[in-house]
Structure 1
């Protein structure tokens, strides 16, 4: 069974809709170009990053459902930005952090959405690395399921036992997140 991607833009890309690709190029390529050029890249680099970003997104959507928690634009820009950062790493070039964007209020919101999406993806990835029990327990906890229900659902003897287990699982999740290389960029910059 093919995964379902509910975002209309992703559906259009999966169907090979050339108009959608052209519209994406017209609206998003300038941002990718600006980012790449301001971080020691060329227009050719930006073109390659943009096309690789589209390819990566389509490939990912063919394999599993792509959940977008922010705007499509922020999600796609994140993909392109990560591709460019990987390329720079390969080239061992230093990213110039100062003045690479002249952010307007709209861009601030866009950047905040990108960072929020990346944080959410890191959180989701790390919670799924936990044991199945911890993962399910924390998902219940974060969905504000009351402890008396958690006790029954997970067969704990007391609410205190459930509380202790939640605490241990949260501690493990926090350790996983903080030891991931992406943490420093997403939470301390």
Structure 2
């Protein structure tokens, strides 16, 4: 299922001036802040943003690109990776980065997409855990924090056998809540 922000990908492909202007207006400031905050200049931030947009457009035109996350997070991840490459080159070569070497490859785009999907999965899990509530949520959170089931049982003042049995039931409830959510199919579990 496409994210509503797919319109920005389509705008880049079709060169829709109104939406491309909106992309710059809405998203470039965050990139500018990130680059300047990390030893860059306003001009470098503009170059990074432009390079990311060109890479996204190229990928969408040649291979297709279906956005399953917010465009804001997607562009930020790509720009962050590009800026890290620039910083690494500056550090190791103490020279200006060759723009050809700044191009992001398939692996960078895929990594950015995977990171965002992972964030969304975690967010959905936490939402459903909150929805589950009560002792189930508490038991699962304690167990996932690294505590053994014996420690969890002690913290909850229940028997070890009951804690293990309750964990199975709680996991089943949580899984069902997650699977019923419309976002489930878009997050490629």
Structure 2 length as normaliser, TM-score? 0.51
Change (3 A) 1:136 1:34: same
Q: Distance in 1 between matches of 2:126 and 2:161?
A: 26
Partner of 2:176: 175
Establish whether residue 45 from structure 1 lines up as the match of residue 36 from structure 2.
no
CA distance in structure 2 between the aligned counterparts of 1:166 and 1:183, rounded to whole angstroms: 22
Deviations 1:40-63 (A, max 9, x none): 893423544675679xxxxxxxxx
Instruction: Describe the superposition over 1:41-86 as per-residue Cα deviations: whole angstroms up to 9, x where unpaired.
Output: 93423544675679xxxxxxxxxxxxxxxxxx9xxx943379xxxx
In structure 2, what is the equivalent of residue 88 of structure 1? none
What is the match of residue 79 of structure 1?
Answer: 70
Question: 2:108 matched to 1:106?
Answer: yes
Q: Residue 38 and residue 185 in structure 1: after superposition, are their counterparts in 2 closer, same or farther (change >3 A)?
A: farther
Question: For residues 80 and 155 of structure 1, do their structure 2 counterparts lie closer, same or farther at Cα, with a shift above 3 Å needed?
Answer: same
Distance 1:122 1:128, change over 3 A: same
Give 3-state SS (helix, strand or coil) of 1:181's partner.
coil
Offset of 1:39 from its aligned partner? 7.9
1:143 and 2:145 equivalent? Answer: yes
Aligned counterparts, 1:26-41, within 5 A? 35-37=9-11
Asked whether the equivalents of residues 8 and 71 of structure 2 are also in contact (C-alpha less than 8 Å), the reply is no
Between the aligned partners of 1:177 and 1:39, the Cα distance in structure 2 is 34
Are residues 1:184 and 2:175 paired? no
* 1:79–1:174 distance in 2 versus 1, CA, 3 Å: same
- How many equivalent pairs are there? 117
Q: Which runs of 5+ in 2 are unaligned?
A: 1-5, 29-51, 53-67, 74-103
Residues 123-162 of structure 1 mapped to structure 2, 5 A cutoff: 123-156=125-158, 158-162=159-163
Instruction: Indicate the residue corresponding to 1:20 in structure 2.
Output: none
Rg: which structure is higher?
A: 2
**Cα 1:155–1:180 shift into 2, 3 Å:** same
